[in-house]
Chain A
């Protein structure tokens, strides 16, 4: 039984070529439709082999083929034209919308200025209003809504020049500590690389960059703090975060340089929108 089976397996089985050949070799070798050969053998006896028949059917099919090719070509060129049209239309739309956005932005600025002048006019009219106006401008300084100029300190911090480790770079929390220390030592307005810190600002890490107000900054970081330039450096050294910064400078080689300045200019914070305000109900 075992011998018999061994015998059968040893006889070389005649396998069809599509099994033994690689797929691509098979396709190359049998590129002609295999029906042609047997059919022509079958009909060879019935007609003159040197005059293979090309009859009406072949004519019709070839006509169909021509039609197909022409249609595909026409369709492709038509689509290309349509695509180009669509592209042009989109481009025009984009330009138009961009102009619209620009003009609306312009209008927003105009309206804001108008509101400001109206507000000033209105408040200057009465004693109470003048008090309110003073309070408003003080709050604007505090919240970052208005640009501020005045004496203060300029603090420039940067990474360790031979930084190999992320701890030797200025991190978001280091900048947070610096800002907190400056607030604690009496700063009235602070900007980092031209980004004003408002009461809604966040100093965060995004990828490898630090972002303030959603805009990424690059080292070195120039922190401007408006306040008493004589008092801030002394009080800075007394705050908890200020001490931490001196430690950072000593332990990790971070750059830290504080200089008093006679006149600094801190811009207003961007995108300060009203969120929860509503108008008072008008009294009759």
Chain B
């Protein structure tokens, strides 16, 4: 599982380097992680479904992260604050749950 290796390397790299996040980027980080999580679980499900594709994964990951950050930015500028982010979290949360449910069905056949 080369992909798992990539994940591991990324985590170790992050823990070792401990990169300084600039202050203006900080509010986007948590929601970007949630968006990325959605893309990764989607990819895992697609992989188990046998329809995984590199290009689709890359594009969905990057676009998810960017759109999530954009929505947070827009919320800040519009003055609705965290409420737009709440919407994003709800939608992504539902997707993550149903994708994980599909993955579970694949692995445990239950």
Let me know if A75 and B99 touch, CB within 8 A: no
Let me know if B10 and A67 touch, CB within 8 A: yes
Task: Tell me the chain B residues, 1-58 only, with Cβ under 8 Å from chain A.
Answer: 2-15, 18-19, 21, 26, 29-30, 32-33, 36, 39-40, 42-43, 45-47, 49-58
Q: Which residues from chain A contact B96 at a C-beta distance below 8 Å?
A: 31
How far is A61 from B35 in the complex, measured between Cα atoms in Å? 13
Cβ of A32 within 8 Å of any chain B Cβ, yes or no, is yes
Contact of A70 among B11, B50, B60 (CB under 8 A): B11
Q: Which residues from chain A contact B13 at a C-beta distance below 8 Å?
A: 63, 66-67, 70
Task: Tell me the chain B residues, 85-104 only, with Cβ under 8 Å from chain A.
Answer: 91, 94-99, 102
Let me know if A61 and B47 touch, CB within 8 A: no
Tell me if B's interface is mostly helix, strand, loop or mixed. helix
Let me know if B59 and A35 touch, CB within 8 A: yes
How far is A67 from B50 in the complex, measured between Cα atoms in Å? 27
How far is A39 from B54 in the complex, measured between Cα atoms in Å? 10
Residues on B facing A (Cβ under 8 Å): 2-15, 18-19, 21, 26, 29-30, 32-33, 36, 39-40, 42-43, 45-47, 49-62, 65, 91, 94-99, 102
26 inter-chain pairs at a CB distance below 8 angstroms, sorted by A residue, are A28-B98, A31-B98, A33-B46, A35-B56, A36-B51, A36-B56, A39-B51, A53-B54, A54-B3, A57-B55, A58-B52, A61-B58, A61-B61, A61-B62, A64-B10, A65-B40, A66-B9, A66-B14, A67-B11, A68-B65, A69-B10, A70-B12, A70-B13, A71-B14, A71-B19, A75-B26
